[in-house]
Amino acid sequence: CRLLLGFLEKNKPGFDRELVWKKLFPEAPYDDVNFRKYCSDLLKLVEGFMAQESAGRDKARLQIDLLDYVVRNKIEPLYKSALRQANSEIEKQNYRSLDYFKNKYAIERLYYDMMKFDVTLNTRANIEDISNNLDLFYWIEKLKLFSSALSQKRTGNFEYALQFNDEILNYLRNYPMENVPELAIYFNSFLTLFEEENDRHYFSLRKLLDQYGGEMPKREAIELYDSALHYCTGKLNKGNQQFLKEYFDLFEEGLNKGIFIVNGELATWRFNNTAAVALRLGKLDWAEQFIEKYKQHLPADTRENTYTFNLARVYRYQRKFDKVLAMLHNLEYEDIGYNLLSKTMLINAYYELDEQDALESFIESFRVFVNRNKSIPQQRRKSYLNLLKYVRRLTRIAPKDKTALFKLKEEVIREKANHVNHQWLLEKIAELE
């Protein structure tokens, strides 16, 4: 293992088997069969090590494993202490996560075996405790699976045959959840997908996240916040602008609770979406401060491009078009999305600065770029080509030419779904009317 690690640390592409063998067994001739066997044995040891490392990080699991060992081997002097330690470990958190109910079920099941309730007469067993914790774990896990199945059906057209959907949902609709907020959170999260037209489910989920979001394990918190954020996005896509502020407030709440920073990183798409929503809400100073503050948390390989792109968006909203040009001129992004959006910002900047010659030249180079880039989907290509067409027409209309302006405005409104920068185009037409 040390020899192999040495090669890896020196970043060498391979190693000489016979040289390794000689270091291990200086007196023995190279034996390929045995060498492969030793490699196989080493792999098993490494896999065992990884399993031990994983188990060692979960303190609750360690205590439950200890309790399991004590019960199965009938080490009666340790019964009480092992049981107490297991319960103490899982009760440390204020919020009872999905794993809490699974662990509590395991502890109650071991307690049942410890007390020999299956053979003890005239003693009430803990069967209800076992069943209740199993039910809660099962229901929450089922709701998570129901949500995943529904999401994949809508986004990927995949069908999944899951059992007891109707039975569980009908039962939970009448279940007293006021004492089990952990179940209520997942139930409302599922209902935002299942009955998406009913906003009440979202606002119930939002209230619960506000109360418990900071106490959840990060993995669960991210899943649930993302579920709520996706709901907001769906509402926005249907034209409900109320959910623009909901999206912003929800993300800001999660950010303040440290939920979205994972291993020191903030996902690029979260960074982009948050900056965009803040700008659309007119929170320009907030957006600029956010970009500067969280730049350090962006993945290193995309950090500078993401930072530059978003700061240029801020300058566009601040109408500092000279700064937009300075940041984006001659800058090409590998990501096609960044490229298209940054070029659109340059179109806006050239127009706003009345750089007519530069604008005309850039429109033509942008048109060539869109037509030549085969990775751009057809509908998206059409949207950007229409933008260029409308901007070119806009620059050639004489001020106060009401007939031409009315005709262009009518077409821009009619073709809203087939071009980008719709609102900006309407604003520029209005300025010429």
CA dihedral 294, 295, 298, 299 (to 10 degrees): -150
Of 316 and 120, the structure prediction assigns the larger pLDDT to: 316
Query: Residue 4: what pLDDT?
Result: 83
Sign of CA dihedral 96, 97, 98, 103: negative
For residue 273, what are the contacts with CB-CB under 8 A and spacing of at least 6?
Answer: 247, 251
Query: What residue has token string 């719709």?
Result: 422
The pTM of this model reads: 0.82
Whether 190 has a pLDDT exceeding 80, the answer reads yes
Q: Which residue is associated with the tokens 């700061």? A: 311
User: 181: which 2 tokens?
Assistant: 């907020």
Mean pLDDT of 66-70: 96
Would you place residue 65 in the very low, low, confident or very high pLDDT band (cuts 50, 70, 90)?
A: very high
**Interatomic CA distance for residues 166 and 142, integer angstroms:** 12
Provide mean pLDDT across the span 28-42: 95
pLDDT confidence bin for 12, thresholds 50/70/90:
low
Let me know how long the chain is.
433
More confident residue, 14 or 308: 308
Query: Across all residues in the chain, what is the average pLDDT?
Result: 92
Concatenated DSSP letters of 280-344: HTT-HHHHHHHHHHHGGGS-TTTHHHHHHHHHHHHHHHTT-HHHHHHHHTT---SSHHHHHHHHH
Question: To the nearest 10°, the Cα dihedral for 380, 384, 385, 390?
Answer: 140
Residue with tokens 């090409």: 332
| Alpha carbon separation from 391 to 26, 361, 385, 424 (Å, rounded) | 77, 12, 10, 10
Residue 418 confidence (pLDDT): 82
* pLDDT per residue as tens digits for the range 88-139: 999 998 899 999 999 999 999 999 999 999 888 889 999 999 999 999 999 9
CA distances from 374 to 204, 237, 355, 368 (A): 45, 27, 30, 11
| pLDDT mean over 280-293 | 96
The answer, yes or no, to whether residue 212 has pLDDT greater than 90, is yes
Does 331 score more than 80 pLDDT? no
183: Cβ contacts below 8 Å, ≥ 6 apart: 136, 139, 140, 172, 175, 177
Give me the pLDDT at residue 335, please: 83
Instruction: Categorise residue 74: left if φ over 0, alpha if ψ from -120 to 50, beta otherwise.
Output: left
Residue 232 near residue 243 (C-beta atoms within 8 A): yes
In this predicted structure, the answer to whether residue 204 has a pLDDT above a threshold of 90 is yes
> What's the pLDDT at 299?
93
C-alpha distance from residue 203 to each of 185, 188, 250, 415 (Å) = 11, 9, 11, 35
Count of CB atoms within 10 A of residue 185's CB?
Answer: 26
Residue 15's pLDDT is what? 75
More confident residue, 287 or 375: 287
Q: What is the mean pLDDT of residues 2-31?
A: 84
Task: Output the pLDDT for position 369.
Answer: 93
Give the three-class secondary structure for 85: helix
| Spatial separation of the C-alpha atoms in residues 59 and 93, rounded to whole Å | 12
CA nearest 231: which of 196, 183, 262, 194? Answer: 196
Summarised one tens digit per residue, pLDDT across range 355-368 is 999 999 999 999 99
pLDDT value at residue 154:
85
List the one residue out of 415, 355, 337 whose CA is nearest residue 346: 355
Interhelix angle 32-57/59-72, rounded to 10 degrees, is 100
- Both tokens assigned to 384: 């950007």
pLDDT digits (tens, 9 = 90+) for 233-250: 999 989 899 999 999 999
Distances from the Cα of 348 to the Cαs of 229, 290, 303, 403, 423, in angstroms?
30, 24, 24, 24, 12
* 371-410: pLDDT as tens digits: 998 889 999 999 999 999 999 999 998 877 889 999 999 9
Spell 274-302 as b/e; 16+ CB within 10 A means b.
bbebbbbbebeebbbebbeebbebbeeeb
